[in-house]
Structure 1
């Protein structure tokens, strides 16, 4: 059974069991501050488990793209080395939100694996939670009894809290889990050691393939204990080696468990491991998930796979890493130097280094794998096929950039027995080596890296302490009914609201508060548009809202103070002027996007945006700088649409398929629901899916002006523009500047001709000055040549001079060197009011190694409060003390004697 059939059978099986099949969420997370990437199947359903949103169906199944390379779930070091860890992988999952529970979940899992996939029952082992006395967690008797109807008791393993109890975070939903493991060893090997003894012991052939999590408890703070403050204090202050164990012990003491009102099922089955088991392979990389990529790498490199361990690992690393990088870029995350972008850059550079070192790829290569991967998954994850060319070009540019410094960095590491923190930082800062890549190469060569020293150097560069960046967030305090916040800001800028919960936020020794209302007119930062500001007011107080953001499905309002009376009703008022200017810029962004696609081509896609009350910034896919003519065409087109005064056509709660049929552009990397909002400014011009706020008609925008066009990443350009009153102010300022220029030129009839004449006059004068300076330098050179004194086997020129510029001084020195092969020249120069020392040694004298120009100039520079250096035969130094030139001459006489 090929991998496509295995995936399809899973989804069809659960569809028959009443599950709604939903698409994968993007790898890159937009509104979850706790995660950089989607690292498990449950992430897109997080708000359902937390009670912040309601699922469209109580039964759901999917296949989810996941990425694990940092934090708690970090598999990067094992990738390519072993046969079953990956950076990007698929997680097959079925979900129950308050519907079925353990009985159905375990029975269906067994049915699918043994009857549909035909996995041998005698190779399967199951585990259940055996309880934890320290945390007062009970043995999962129910799951144990259910499994007894399918397998013998000797194939049921009692797992510990680490392996068989799942928790989302320190608080919240949690519960026991039941894993299914498969033993893929040969009959002979299975006779030697029972598979049960190898479960959860990192054996490459005895692996977990499915985990069934049963969320039946909620963990909450024990009101009689210290709560979040004690745990935050522990995290900041504890220095022991057993921090993880000690922290868990403390958390158990600080919290209690209670049953959830609705019990949920969250399952996850590793697709790549499942394929290995069904296809009877000994490695994930031997399945057809990876063989097309490995075959291409092998053919292109001319190196056979499974011929040598080092080249095998290199091929596996590249095959794995290209999947992670390609899908992250397709989902909107470009490689960069910060955050999620840096993780993607790290992964790609790791792959490039393996190809360079072990497969002899000296030119960009990994980008060539994108079409192979896109065709392989074109029916599953269509976003990569749709952006195949763009993703390939981004990877090509990144590869080319790193390859320019890779060889030099590797040479820098040659001969080292250990790498200090400073050297590791130099490799990062100068050659682009991520720390984990430096550490990997060091391990291959048998020496160590001072990783802590590297981190110290990083902190120096950032110029900020960890303490200053620390953020302490308290727990939500519930006020009355904890209802989901409703956004009403499309239609209202004022509303009566009630606070439903709040929490305290401490950052950089400043206390802030975050408030959630039952409904809100404040727009939360999303889709590039910044959050609204304003205030809430009651009869007795006014509290200013400084920002509004989304946290998963919550709308969170920031305030510098907490209202005194939390239970009263407040009038929430949005800053109308700021909102209007933001709407002008947001609507202009839609007009700009359409204009770019018209002028540059349909390959243009939005890759990021910022919309606030002052400016709009729009990032888009394009591989060349826009010409002035293209920029002007785009600007003219947008202003023409503004003058047309096109009325906004806003449609809410449109079925997603219907929206796409209308021609609405769906951005890659965005997660859309079943119902969307469609913003149209002329159905033949601009139709987009958008949750932002917009003008009622384009005429409200007034004026659109592009102020810059630049590159921000490989294959991504950026336009910054202004609208409305900011554009008007820009034009006024430019006209005022132009009027000043006219006045300075005495109001000529033809301003451009006058400026050209002025420029030509300036150029002619500069040439005259240059000729004069050259003549003066020649005179000085001739005078110095006459003063040269033959002594001790050299021609000495030791003088104080005045020259017009540094180039003249350098030219004099080289001219005299050409004239005297035994020259020893030391000049203390006044260069347009600034002191400078120059030392030049003739070719014949330099061969004696009697004098070193660099050493001499460093010593002499002290007399002018300066510093410098250079080559053994020529060196210069600048300084601050012009009065020290005489002292330079005197010191030089002593030094050469």
Structure 2
């Protein structure tokens, strides 16, 4: 049974049981501040479990792309070393929202596994919750009784809170669960050791494949449990593990989920992967093969996670979710570099295999294939350069080390500042006969984590519900003021922002942050007081209004007032973003797609797919296109709650990585039509004018434009007018400013040539005098001297002196314009025979002038800021030749 068949049979089975089949949500979460990534199948349904929204069906089934690499669920460091952990995996799930419960969930799970998939019953074990008297949660007798009618009692295991009580987080819906485990060991092994004893003991062939969670409690902030108003079912079955069981394998990596990728890695590297069925002998050869196997597993697992994250809109970066994706990719590159001997980018070549393999069910990986390939290739090339740089820096650390143990603090600096992997540091040090101070490294790492935790620590109280059962209504498209009542409040306390209060209203004109647009600010006004709203966000379908204090009377009637000035500026920038998107597709081509945006009152930022830097002509064409639409005074045509398919058929643009409902809102200005939930102007004339202020690269194949409109453009033009007036004054008010500037440039060129000629004369004069000062030390012609030249003159002088003969070692210092500079020249014979390196010399001597630098082995320079250290640097230089 192929993996495609496995997935299809699961969904077909639950469709016949009355379940609505829904697509996977994006792997990257954009509307849930509590999670970076979808880490379980239930993440996209949280609002239903919390009662903040009504599902379109009480029975749903799907397969969800999941990523577990951060926070509580983090499997990253296990990946590769075993055969069943993954960063990205598929979670097959069926859901009941207040409909069926334990009886149906358990019976259907058993029916699917044993009758449809035909897994032998004697290979299966199940577990039920043993209860927890401390929390007043009883043994799950109901689940036990249901299982007892399906499986021998000696195959039912009692599980503790850790294994058999599932929780969404520290707070929220939770409940007992019943897991199903499969024993895939050979019969001979089964006869010697019972599979029951191996359940939940990390045995690679006795693994959990399905978890049925029965949500019936809510965990409060104080840790106590309360009954939910309705009972729900949340199940999750590991797709990769299920394929392993159904394809008769003992490793997930031996299934057709991974074998096409593994075969491609073998083709690229010339190395072979050993399947789990082949037993390796305890020999040096088997140790090397095991390292190869681990590295290949890391690469083929990680490329899936990175590729789907990029396809869903998350680019590698240095912060947040982007940093996590970059870290996963760099781990794969590092394993390839160290154990597969790949010194050039190669992981990007796996994207085509992945797209061919999974593109039918997950079309985003097919449609975004070129972008994903380009981004991964560029990230690979960049990190391989970092590895080269790190190797050189590590050489310097080793050279400075007294004794045989390298400082853990220094190793942490390499890791933290340059991204140089600590395991690679340890490996290289062992090869050189050094040890790593692991305790020092771990201490530095823990200190950093403690600082990070302290900075991001947040405590959240339970909601105080004032008006039960209310589902908030957003009215901000039509109104900026509204009479409201507060329905619930809670207090949050963070190291970053201090104490804040989240307020939910029965209805609200405040737009919550989303679609790139920042949240509204404004006030809540009652008869007796005014509360400032400093931000608005959305979480689990609730619109949260942030305030630094609560009203004295939370039960009073209020008027919610949006800061219309700020909103108006944001709306102009948002509408201009749509027009710019249309302009880019018209001028550059329809390959342009939005990859990110930020819209606030001050400016707009727009990331888009494009393969080259935009020319000045293209940027001007985009500006002209948008301003033409502004001058046309195009009215806003807004359509709400139309079927998404209808909107797409009418030409509306949908963005990859966004989660859309069955009904959507479409925004149209002339020919520009996009699906969008943001706030827009009523007419393009309100934008006034559009001006691009910058264009640059974000990642391979991704460009970024920053632009301004309206009041910001007026301030921009006024600023340039002030600058022009200052220039005019500095030039003594000439009639023709441009002519005056050209005249000054011509004069400057003449003076520069005169200076250059004078410096050359000075170099010749100095050469004659300094030749006599050259000393011979150990057969090397040595000179270390401060000279009265600019850096370019020092370079010319170094080459002039260097050409006098062989075995020349020069260090010249200059202090032109109070900026110390060291210039080192070493004859190529010394570089080859004496292993001297000018780059290493200036890095070492540069410390005396509080600076650094580099260059080639025979010529390098270092700049600094401490002129007083020049003499010490020159005195130190002689040690290199002694």
Deviations along 1:825-880, one digit per CA (max 9) or x if unpaired, are: 9999885678999999999999xx9xxx9999999999x99899999999999887
Please point out which of 227, 232, 239 is paired with 1:264. 232
- Aligned residue number for residue 285 of structure 1: 253
Q: Is the contact between residue 842 and residue 860 of structure 2 (CA under 8 Å) also seen in structure 1?
A: no
- Aligned residue number for residue 232 of structure 1: none
Deviations along 1:380-401, one digit per CA (max 9) or x if unpaired, are: 1111101111111111111111
- Aligned residue number for residue 454 of structure 2: 467
- Aligned residue number for residue 368 of structure 2: 387
Please point out which of 679, 693, 696 is paired with 1:693. 679
Give ranges in structure 1 of 5+ residues lacking alignment: 222-226, 228-254, 893-897
CA spacing shift, 1:451–1:73, aligned 2, 3 Å: farther
Shift of 1:719: 0.2
TM-score by length of 1: 0.85
Q: Is the contact between residue 474 and residue 504 of structure 1 (CA under 8 Å) also seen in structure 2?
A: yes
- SS of match in other structure, 1:134: helix
Q: Is the contact between residue 840 and residue 875 of structure 1 (CA under 8 Å) also seen in structure 2?
A: no
Q: Is the contact between residue 855 and residue 869 of structure 1 (CA under 8 Å) also seen in structure 2?
A: no
CA spacing shift, 1:150–1:703, aligned 2, 3 Å: same
- SS of match in other structure, 2:535: strand
Whole-angstrom CA distance in 2 between matches of 1:887 and 1:110: 80
- SS of match in other structure, 2:361: coil
- Aligned residue number for residue 104 of structure 2: 104
Does the alignment pair 1:543 with 2:531? Answer: yes
Whole-angstrom CA distance in 2 between matches of 1:43 and 1:206: 27
Q: Is the contact between residue 500 and residue 547 of structure 2 (CA under 8 Å) also seen in structure 1?
A: yes
Whole-angstrom CA distance in 2 between matches of 1:133 and 1:868: 65
CA spacing shift, 1:436–1:334, aligned 2, 3 Å: farther
- Aligned residue number for residue 513 of structure 2: 525
Give ranges in structure 2 of 5+ residues lacking alignment: 276-288, 878-882
Deviations along 1:25-52, one digit per CA (max 9) or x if unpaired, are: 1111112222221111011011111122
Deviations along 1:125-181, one digit per CA (max 9) or x if unpaired, are: 211111123333211111111112111211211111111111122333221111111
Matches within 5 A, 1:786-805: 803=788, 805=790
Please point out which of 592, 600, 607 is paired with 2:580. 592
Of 733-742 and 347-356, the range deviating more from structure 2: 733-742
Of 278-287 and 324-333, the range deviating more from structure 2: 278-287
- Aligned residue number for residue 743 of structure 2: 757
- Aligned residue number for residue 653 of structure 1: 641
Please point out which of 595, 618, 621 is paired with 1:607. 595
- Aligned residue number for residue 464 of structure 2: 477
Q: Is the contact between residue 511 and residue 519 of structure 2 (CA under 8 Å) also seen in structure 1?
A: yes
- Aligned residue number for residue 323 of structure 2: 342
Shift of 1:448: 8.3
Whole-angstrom CA distance in 1 between matches of 2:830 and 2:6: 80
- Aligned residue number for residue 310 of structure 2: 329
Whole-angstrom CA distance in 1 between matches of 2:780 and 2:8: 88
Does the alignment pair 1:677 with 2:665? Answer: yes
Q: Is the contact between residue 350 and residue 437 of structure 1 (CA under 8 Å) also seen in structure 2?
A: no
Does the alignment pair 1:314 with 2:302? Answer: no
Does the alignment pair 1:728 with 2:714? Answer: yes
CA spacing shift, 1:105–1:732, aligned 2, 3 Å: same
- Aligned residue number for residue 132 of structure 1: 132
Of 255-264 and 759-768, the range deviating more from structure 2: 255-264
Whole-angstrom CA distance in 1 between matches of 2:698 and 2:673: 26
Whole-angstrom CA distance in 1 between matches of 2:818 and 2:463: 66
Q: Is the contact between residue 292 and residue 339 of structure 2 (CA under 8 Å) also seen in structure 1?
A: yes
Shift of 1:462: 11
- Aligned residue number for residue 168 of structure 1: 168
- Aligned residue number for residue 3 of structure 1: 3
Q: Is the contact between residue 815 and residue 867 of structure 2 (CA under 8 Å) also seen in structure 1?
A: no
- Aligned residue number for residue 770 of structure 1: 756
Whole-angstrom CA distance in 1 between matches of 2:301 and 2:460: 37
Q: Is the contact between residue 346 and residue 434 of structure 1 (CA under 8 Å) also seen in structure 2?
A: no
Deviations along 1:276-296, one digit per CA (max 9) or x if unpaired, are: 112222222222211221222
Matches within 5 A, 1:37-76: 37-76=37-76
Whole-angstrom CA distance in 2 between matches of 1:43 and 1:775: 75
Whole-angstrom CA distance in 2 between matches of 1:85 and 1:887: 56
Whole-angstrom CA distance in 1 between matches of 2:843 and 2:537: 57
Of 418-427 and 294-303, the range deviating more from structure 2: 418-427
- Aligned residue number for residue 641 of structure 1: 629
CA spacing shift, 1:97–1:444, aligned 2, 3 Å: farther
Shift of 1:679: 0.8
Shift of 1:257: 2.8
- Aligned residue number for residue 295 of structure 1: 263
Whole-angstrom CA distance in 2 between matches of 1:300 and 1:855: 36
Q: Is the contact between residue 512 and residue 558 of structure 1 (CA under 8 Å) also seen in structure 2?
A: yes
CA spacing shift, 1:425–1:715, aligned 2, 3 Å: farther
Deviations along 1:216-239, one digit per CA (max 9) or x if unpaired, are: 222335xxxxx4xxxxxxxxxxxx
- SS of match in other structure, 2:257: coil
- SS of match in other structure, 2:620: helix
Of 870-879 and 402-411, the range deviating more from structure 2: 870-879
TM-score by length of 2: 0.86
Whole-angstrom CA distance in 1 between matches of 2:793 and 2:79: 60
Q: RMSD of the TM alignment (CA)?
A: 4.3
- Paired residues in the alignment total 852
Deviations along 1:235-275, one digit per CA (max 9) or x if unpaired, are: xxxxxxxxxxxxxxxxxxxx433322200000111111111
Q: Is the contact between residue 126 and residue 178 of structure 2 (CA under 8 Å) also seen in structure 1?
A: yes
Shift of 1:117: 1.2
Whole-angstrom CA distance in 1 between matches of 2:385 and 2:829: 39
Shift of 1:529: 0.5
Deviations along 1:285-342, one digit per CA (max 9) or x if unpaired, are: 2222112212222233333332833322222222211111110110111112222212
- Aligned residue number for residue 284 of structure 2: none
Of structures 1 and 2, the larger Rg is shown by 1
Whole-angstrom CA distance in 1 between matches of 2:78 and 2:875: 67
- SS of match in other structure, 2:758: helix
CA spacing shift, 1:23–1:450, aligned 2, 3 Å: farther
Whole-angstrom CA distance in 2 between matches of 1:865 and 1:289: 57
